[in-house]
């Protein structure tokens, strides 16, 4: 069995008779403290390195996908939703008037339940995707309020996607995503819909949003988690570094000469004045010649 963080998680999932007593505090060794309280399960580890595609790579990959996979990934890119939240959307969760979707449930490989946390229940703006949702829903065979926005189709994407009355599995979406990324030359181990959730959280801050805003929209309960999702690429670092350098360059120490901007303005003023003076001389000479 794996060690550390995931061992504890697997015990809870696969060994409930053992995990539940410890979790609920039924087994006690030191007063009211459960026996697992002092256990250090280590830091959370991941199989693959966390990374995201660039803006250009993302556009290239999206251009190679087809609906419904494309619309699912576009939703993750635009709203920072989890893949389970997107595939768990019903038609009643889309509001064309306000151009929003309501996240109130999740679909994890056929298991329909509550979202990951209470903060994950939220309303998200679709922006330009609202029209795409209208067009997609209009093409569906079933359009009742409790029908799925992304239903399974005729064996679409794998053996688990053949029942129109059930939501789409994520396996077919992941397969199509890897094929598109390979075609674009930017596939990497660990690439999945969650990569675009990370990208949205990063990009939302790059375009001017705060970490608090990005975290709230993503459904994070703590800002620290938003920090773990945020990537600061070299291009972004370069832009921020140059902005600091440019601002510092325009500050002149006390007692020093004019700032670079002030020197340029003074030079321009002198050039304009010289030009006017020259024009006056030419005008005077013309009158005397006449």
Same domain assignment for residues 74 and 183: yes
Residue 28, domain member (yes or no): yes
Residue 81, domain member (yes or no): yes
Same domain assignment for residues 270 and 211: no
Same domain assignment for residues 153 and 193: yes
Are 40 and 4 contacting, i.e. CB atoms less than 8 angstroms apart?
Answer: no
Degrees, nearest 5: CA angle 273-275-277: 70
Q: Where are the beta strands (DSSP E) in the chain?
A: 94-95, 100-103, 106-108, 111-113, 122-125
Residue 246, domain member (yes or no): no
CATH number of residue 155's parent domain: 1.10.443.10
Same domain assignment for residues 35 and 60: no
Are 225 and 82 contacting, i.e. CB atoms less than 8 angstroms apart?
Answer: no
CA distance 28 to 37: 10
Residue 196, domain member (yes or no): yes
What are the backbone angles phi and psi of residue 39, rounded to the nearest 5°? -80, 125
Query: Could you give the dihedral angle defined by the CA atoms of residues 170, 171, 177 and 182, in that order, rounded to the nearest 10 degrees?
Result: 160
* pLDDT computed for residue 205 by the predictor: 87
* pLDDT computed for residue 257 by the predictor: 63
Please state whether beta strands 106-108 and 100-103 pair in parallel, antiparallel, or not at all (unpaired). unpaired
pLDDT tens sequence across 25-80: 454 545 566 656 666 666 655 566 678 899 999 999 999 999 999 999 999 999 99
Contacts of 226 (CB under 8 A, 6+ apart): 201, 211, 212, 214, 215, 218, 220
* pLDDT computed for residue 159 by the predictor: 46
- pTM comes to 0.66
Residue 280 C-alpha from the chain's centroid: 63
Residue 154, domain member (yes or no): yes
Q: Per the structure, how many domains does the chain have?
A: 3
Label residue 150 left, alpha or beta by phi (over 0 means left) and psi (-120 to 50 means alpha): beta
Range of the domain at 281: 256-290
- Dmax over CA atoms of the chain, in Å, equals 114
Same domain assignment for residues 39 and 65: no
Question: Could you state, in chain order, the average pLDDT of each consecutive group of 10 residues for the chain (290 residues)?
Answer: 49 51 49 61 62 91 95 94 95 95 91 87 92 96 94 61 78 94 94 92 87 84 73 70 73 64 80 81 69
Same domain assignment for residues 91 and 227: yes
Residue 94, domain member (yes or no): yes
* pLDDT computed for residue 273 by the predictor: 84
CA distance 35 to 75: 43
Residue 248, domain member (yes or no): no
Among candidate residues 139, 162, 151, 172, the one with its CA nearest the CA of residue 69: 172
Residue 89, domain member (yes or no): yes
């Amino acid at each position: 069995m794996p060690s550390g963080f995931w061992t504890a998680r697997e015990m809870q999932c696969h060994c409930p008779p053992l995990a539940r007593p410890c979790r609920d505090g039924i087994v006690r060794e030191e007063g009211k403290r459960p026996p697992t309280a002092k256990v250090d399960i280590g830091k959370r580890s991941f199989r693959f390195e966390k990374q995201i595609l660039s803006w250009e790579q993302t556009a290239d990959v999206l251009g190679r996908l087809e609906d419904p996979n494309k619309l699912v990934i576009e939703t993750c890119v635009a709203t920072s939703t989890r893949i389970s939240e997107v595939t768990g959307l019903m038609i009643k969760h889309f509001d064309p008037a306000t151009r929003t979707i309501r996240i109130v449930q999740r679909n994890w490989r056929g298991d329909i339940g509550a979202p990951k946390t209470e903060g994950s229940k939220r309303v998200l703006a679709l922006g330009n995707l609202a029209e795409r949702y209208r067009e997609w829903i209009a093409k569906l065979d079933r359009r009742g309020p409790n029908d799925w926005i992304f239903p399974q189709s005729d064996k679409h994407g794998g053996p688990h996607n053949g029942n129109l009355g059930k939501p789409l599995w994520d396996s077919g979406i992941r397969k199509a995503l890897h094929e598109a990324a390979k075609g674009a030359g930017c596939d990497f181990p660990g690439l999945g819909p969650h990569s675009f959730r990370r990208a949205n959280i990063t990009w939302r801050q790059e375009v001017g949003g705060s970490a608090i805003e990005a975290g709230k929209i993503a459904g994070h309960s703590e800002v620290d988690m938003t920090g773990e999702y945020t990537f600061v690429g070299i291009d972004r670092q370069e832009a921020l570094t140059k902005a600091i350098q440019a601002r510092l360059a325009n500050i002149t120490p006390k007692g020093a000469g004019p700032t670079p901007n002030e020197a340029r303005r003074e030079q321009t003023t002198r050039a304009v004045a010289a030009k006017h003076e020259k024009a006056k001389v030419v005008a005077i000479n013309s009158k005397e010649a006449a």
